[in-house]
Structure 1
Amino acid sequence: MTRPDAGQADPGTWLLDRIDAREQALTCQIEQTQAEIDTLTARLSELSQAIEHLRISRKTLISLAGEDPAPTQADAPPPAVPEHPAYQQILTVFAAVGGSLRARDLARAMGLPLTQNDIQNVRAKLKRLAGRGILVETEPGLFTQPRP
C-alpha cells in the first residue's frame, strides 16, 4: 500500500481514489457473480425440465403396464407337441429347470450319452419345438420356454 507523496496536498484525495478503486473491483466481481448466477439458473431450468420429462415417461409406462394387453387370437389352437416321448421328456426337463438350456445341457439332464450324434438329435428336436412355437431360441443354440 503506497502512501501519499509528501508533495500531494490533500491526503483525502488519496483515500477517495483508493475507495473508488475498491468500488470498481467489487462492481466487477458483482457483475461476474451475477453472470455465473444467470448461467446456473439457466442450467437449473434445463435440468428441471429434463427430470419432469422423465417423470412423465415413468407415469406413461406405468399406466401402459397396467392396461390389458391387446387380445390375442382366441381362434388359434395351442401348438401341438409331437407325440414322441422324447418331446414330452424335453418339456418336462424345461419345466423343472425353468430357464434356458443348450442341447448338450438338455442331453445331460435327460441322461443321454454326450456323443455328437445324440446331442445333434436333441438339437434337432429343440429346433422343431422352436419352429412350432413351443420353445423359443433366444440366441443361437440357447432355448427356453416362452413367457405367457
Structure 2
Amino acid sequence: MEERWRMGSLVEELEAREAAARVQVAELEAEVAALAEKLELARESLERLRIARETVAEVLAEMTPEDSAAAVDARLPTAGERVASAYAGTERQVIGVLTVPNWQPGMGPEILPRVYRDIVEVVADAPGPVRAKQVVPRIGLPAESGKIEGTRSKLKRLVERGWLDEDTPGMFAPAHRRRATSPNSR
C-alpha cells in the first residue's frame, strides 16, 4: 500500500513539474516573439540606412565635377518653403526627401531610383504575383537572405507608395489602378 502511495505522489510530482515546465515554455516563447519583432524592426532600420548610403553613393558617383560644384553653390530649399515639384507639375512644401514618391496619375517608373524602377519592371513583366526571392536574381543580386530581405523592404515601400499591390502577404503584383470618378467628370 505504501508503495502505491509513493507511485501516486511521484506521478503527481511529475505532473506538477510538467505544468511548471509548460508555463516556462510559454513565457519563453512570448519573449522570443517579442525579440523577433524587435529584431525585424532593427533589420528594417538597418536596411533603410544601407539603402540611403547606397543611394547617396550612386548619386555622388553619377555626378560630374560641374554637377558637384553646382550642388554646392545651389541654395537648397528650407523646411516649410514652397517649391515647384517635378512630380505631376504641382507645388509642394519641402518637409524631407522622399526617394520613392507616392504614385500619382501620369507618373511612370522612370522617375523612381534605378533599383526601384528595376523592381517595378520585373514585377510588371512577371506572369503573376511574385515573391521577393524571385525578384532578387532578376535585378542582378545574389539570392542571399540579406538581399532578399532588402528587396522585400523595397517591395513593401513600393506597395505603401501605390506603385505595387500585395493582395496576398508576400506576393507582389503591379498596382490595380482604381479610377476615381467624380460627379463632375461625366
> Do both share a fold (TM > 0.5)?
no
Which structure would you say has the larger RCO, counting Cα contacts within 8 Å and 6 or more residues apart? 1
TM-score interval w.r.t. the shorter chain?
Answer: 0.3 to 0.5
- Structure number, greater radius of gyration: 1
Give the structure-2-normalised TM-score: 0.35
Give the structure-1-normalised TM-score: 0.44
Higher helix share: 1
